[in-house]
A and B are shown apart, each in its own frame.
Chain A
Amino acid sequence: EVVLTQSPATLSVSPGEGATLTCRASQNVYDYLAWYQRRPGQSPRLLIYGASKRATGIPARFSASGSGTDFTLTITNLEAEDFAVYYCQQRYSWPTITFGQGTRLEIK
């Protein structure tokens, strides 16, 4: 099974600043990686797929990069609505998919 390890577990950042979240895969997943945002009380929202492609309607302040085993999600100019839990997910091992444990982005 492909294990995704996200770091840090919690990240405290002030509004207006930027944040960088990391996801590391236990084996090469090429660019078959997605990022999701989960706001409190809401379902996950697809932000990024294919490691770096923004999903429909996702603001440009969300960007992502990486391939192989190391991936990052970068959020610039943090807004109040961005404080949430972020998950990475791989589909390289399709039809099985796995998620990371999540990074909680909280207001500092």
Chain B
Amino acid sequence: QVQLVESGGGVVQPGGSLRLSCVISGFSLDDVGIHWVRQAAGKGLEWVAYRDDDGTSIFYGDSVKGRFSVSTDNSKTTLYLQMSSLRSDDTAVYHCAKDAALDWNGYLDSWGQGTLVIVSS
């Protein structure tokens, strides 16, 4: 059964850093790409980043480019989102989601429940 479980959220001061984790099961990071998507309270969904199946291509949304980075652990069961230079507008619930690998990449068919990041002094 496909599962994604995020953790690592919390309260951080503006300018600070935080690392989110996404533990996957039921599939392999070598098989499909993974997205990070966030949702601020009362707002819509915002795509944050994508790592492809072999890690050779990682893309970021304009609002986080240069501040966030995606990596994996050696066992390829955990995906990380390293966030730095955090701002108040980064406050959101962060989800990792599996790419559906359908006709084209870019559709998301399994999502984690999310982890809340609050950037506040």
Contact = CB atoms under 8 A, between A and B. Distances in A.
Q: Do A and B bind each other?
A: yes
Contact of B107 (A87, A91, A95): A91
Interface residues of A, number: 25
Given A95-B57, A95-B59, A96-B61, A44 B45 contact: yes
Interface stretch (A65-73, A76-84, A99-107): A99-107
A96 B62 CA distance: 9
A43 B109 contact: no
Contacts of B61: 96
Interface string A31-58: 0101010000001111001100101100
Contacts of B59: 95-96
Contact of A97 (B47, B103, B113): B47
B50 A95 contact: yes
A101 to B, nearest CB: 4
Contacts of B80: none
A94 B111 CA distance: 19
A50 B109 CA distance: 13
Given A99-B45, A101-B44, A49 B50 contact: no
A94 B105 contact: yes
A89 B61 CA distance: 15
B100 interface: yes
A44 B100 CA distance: 13
21 contacts: A32-B106, A34-B107, A34-B108, A36-B108, A44-B97, A44-B111, A46-B108, A49-B102, A50-B102, A50-B103, A53-B102, A55-B109, A87-B44, A89-B45, A91-B105, A91-B107, A97-B35, A99-B44, A101-B43, A101-B44, A102-B45
Please name the 3 residue pairs, one residue from A and one from B, whose CB atoms are nearest each other, closest first.
Answer: A91-B106, A43-B111, A95-B59
